Structure 1
Amino acid sequence: MDIYQSAIRPLLFNLLKTDPEFLQQQTIRSLTWWEHNSIRPPGNWLHQQLQKSLCFADPRLEQQLWGLHFPNPVGLAAGFDKDAAATNIWSSLGFGFAEMGTVTFHPQPGNPRPRLFRLPADSAALNRMGFNNNGAQAMANRLIAQRQKQYTPVIPIGINLGKSKVTPLTEAPTDYLQSFRLLKELGDYFVVNVSSPNTPGLRSLQDAAMLSSILAALQEENNAHKPLFVKIAPDLEWSAIADIIDLAKTYQLAGIIATNTTISRDGLKTSIIEATGNPPSQEAGGISGIPVRDRSTEIIRFIWQRTQGEIPIIGVGGIFSADDVWEKITAGAKIVQIYTGWIYQGPWIVRRILAGLLTKLDQNGLNSISDAVGYKAKISN
């Protein structure tokens, strides 16, 4: 246990009773300051010290995927850096890649606050943020300005695209397309988010016919051949996931991200959310963290087995340890993303996971992390 888990987290979670969204905003502001000042004192000194403390490198953890170099398989999930405020800092926190957004074409405030809640008894979070962001044009302007200042990320940066709340579902393809046109030269890969439970009707876009029209529009525009993924919900039936697999093949997607947050409340230990006085069953939103861990791994395994590993998978959901990452990678994920685990375990989680993955490779006689992808399925055949 490090200083974050032993001292800082209890202070933030229990003593200060701080609004989780406020803490997230302050963290982003701090990271943005750090990014802008990392080339001059005292920022450069802080930058160097934190890199030494948080980063972990080993060639066995590196992969070349989709024409991109991933120094390690652990990335930051979408939802934290919504407006691409700190794209150049995430590598210094140990991440092998980072996903910005979710961004929508129209700027929007999101749902009314409070809209982010901790469920410590479940090592989980409940959010109904509603894609609050400054819009695709603002993100594009920020990324262009970063390039002009020669702030070049050393890890792949993805951009997660969502539908604007004001846009009717029937016009969703155009809405996604407008965002993509503004950002397509500025991201290393792109994600079609049709699985958040916090925008009315959004999950209906996972229907084969609706999703097909979105993917067709984006791939027609995608003349730079940027890797394009779709992010799916953990609450889908197997038949619906099979339909999305077929669409991924039809539209030559780079892969599938499995999974988003869940609307299920089954098995939760939390009886009352202190900030609202209501049980989780009475609160709208998606749950992340440990409650979604096993289901996301099941879906990863299903996709890998159904496609014989032909469709790459990015695994996300309930990752708190090297064991969790190993389960997802050996089920079929090539790389993984974390968010809630990072909040609960603190900034040293990435380093611990990466060191733990090397131990797993040694224990199983494997030479690289790419050898572990789908490993459990392979050895069971």
Structure 2
Amino acid sequence: MIGPFAGLASRGLFVFDPETAHGLSITALKTGLVPTCRIANDPRLAQTIAGITFPNPLGLAAGYDKNAEVPDAMLKLGFGFTEVGTVTPKPQAGNDKPRIFRLVEDRGVINRLGFNNEGHEAAFARLSARHNAPGIVGVNIGANKDTADRVADYVAGIRKFYALATYFTVNISSPNTPGLRDLQARDSLKTLLEAVLAARAEEGLRYGRTVPVFLKIAPDLTEEGLDDIASEATSHPLDGLIVSNTTLSRDGLKDQIQAKEAGGLSGVPLFKRSTVMLAKMRKRVGPALPIIGVGGVSSATDALEKIRAGADLVQLYSCMVYEGPSLPATILKGLSSLLDREKLSSIREIRDTRLDQWAAEKL
């Protein structure tokens, strides 16, 4: 079980700069120094989304395990699923350091990493080594900064990892690759989805199974931008949306020094904006299309609110910087406690119960 030692070790990482601390945490997970969490699965938390049966609705968002080094270690912390990446076809160093900044007063993080990763081949080798191992592992795919054809890079990701991914996330919403968010514009998005989903169809025939594809969007869209994405998402055989990536907004931050750093903001300050965006998108796409809510989840209360605002599943990452590796287990226990109190038979019963309130908020 995860106990006080793990919490102290997590806080001890604050001695190091954020990127060094991140690397040390990966090393600790690879060497087994982080204790696993063994809580019994609560069948009331399980649900089937996009044809995948998730043991619980809590997942690790992309960005932590960029190179598919520790998916199984993360699943052992209690996550119902984990997402590796963002992975690009060629290795790339990303932006200049320093490029991660803690906003301790705000319990937030700013990063401008820029899709730093070891490329398709390295991630493919690691995922191949765990092929057929239990657990849901999604692959988040992106485009190289210097590519001549971004759409081709996403198609390459589908083809490369088709035999290994439980699902794909098409990440067009990072603010740290110049021009990437332009792919959210309607005409560009139509072209991208047509190419990606055509590649998925071809690979599906080859492998005899259909791997779901999710689209990850930004939290900084206008109402008109949401309209465009919803229209394209519902007119293609897309399997779901992930709402949302990091934000360029700096509204309401206490730390006005770190707030001046360029990059995407995540953690607690992102919770409200991303949840409003989630609800507004749920209103647009209707009840059937799966949505994964991500942004600022630091407690069971936050996770429940995402679900009440329209999410089927929830992801987190940045808040673990402050809460430590026990956070997934703490959230899952909180979810089960709510079901006990409300005498509910499934977590799905609370979905959309505060949809109208959240959707009415202004962006």
TM-score normalized by the length of structure 2: 0.91
Contact 1:78 1:160 in 2 (8 A): yes
Q: Give the length in aligned residue pairs.
A: 350
- Pick from 266, 273, 287 the counterpart of residue 251 of structure 2: 266
Q: Does residue 252 in structure 1 map to residue 237 in structure 2?
A: yes
Structure 1 letter corresponding to 2:238: L
Compute the displacement of 1:133 (Å): 0.5
SS at structure 1 position matched to 2:139 = strand
Cα distance in 1 for partners of 2:130, 2:288 equals 36
Structure 1 residue runs without a partner (length 5+): 35-45, 274-279
Q: Does residue 287 in structure 1 map to residue 226 in structure 2?
A: no
Cα distance in 2 for partners of 1:314, 1:166 equals 30
Residue correspondence of structure 1 range 1-381 to structure 2 within 5 A? 3=4, 7-13=8-14, 16=15, 18-34=16-32, 50-52=36-38, 55-147=39-131, 152-168=132-148, 171-223=149-201, 224=204, 225-273=210-258, 280-281=259-260, 283-377=261-355
Cα distance in 1 for partners of 2:294, 2:356 equals 21
Cα distance in 2 for partners of 1:132, 1:379 equals 38
Contact 1:56 1:355 in 2 (8 A): no
Cα distance in 2 for partners of 1:379, 1:293 equals 15
Compute the displacement of 1:244 (Å): 0.7
Q: 1:97-143 CA deviation, whole Å, 9 max, x = no partner?
A: 00000001111011111111110010000000000001112211221
Find the counterpart in structure 2 of residue 37 from structure 1.
none
Cα distance in 1 for partners of 2:255, 2:355 equals 34
Contact 2:59 2:316 in 1 (8 A): yes
Cα distance in 2 for partners of 1:379, 1:24 equals 37
Structure 2 letter corresponding to 1:119: L
SS at structure 2 position matched to 1:222 = helix
Compute the displacement of 1:359 (Å): 2.2
Structure 2 residue runs without a partner (length 5+): 205-209, 359-363
Find the counterpart in structure 2 of residue 42 from structure 1.
none
Structure 2 letter corresponding to 1:270: D
TM-score normalized by the length of structure 1: 0.87
Q: 1:50-85 CA deviation, whole Å, 9 max, x = no partner?
A: 233xx3421111112222221111100000000111
Percentage of identical aligned residues: 43
Contact 2:174 2:180 in 1 (8 A): yes
Against the structure 1 CA distance between its residues 360 and 51, is the aligned structure 2 distance closer, same or farther, given a 3 Å change threshold? closer
Q: 1:305-358 CA deviation, whole Å, 9 max, x = no partner?
A: 223312210000000001100110011100000101112111111111111112
Against the structure 1 CA distance between its residues 163 and 70, is the aligned structure 2 distance closer, same or farther, given a 3 Å change threshold? same
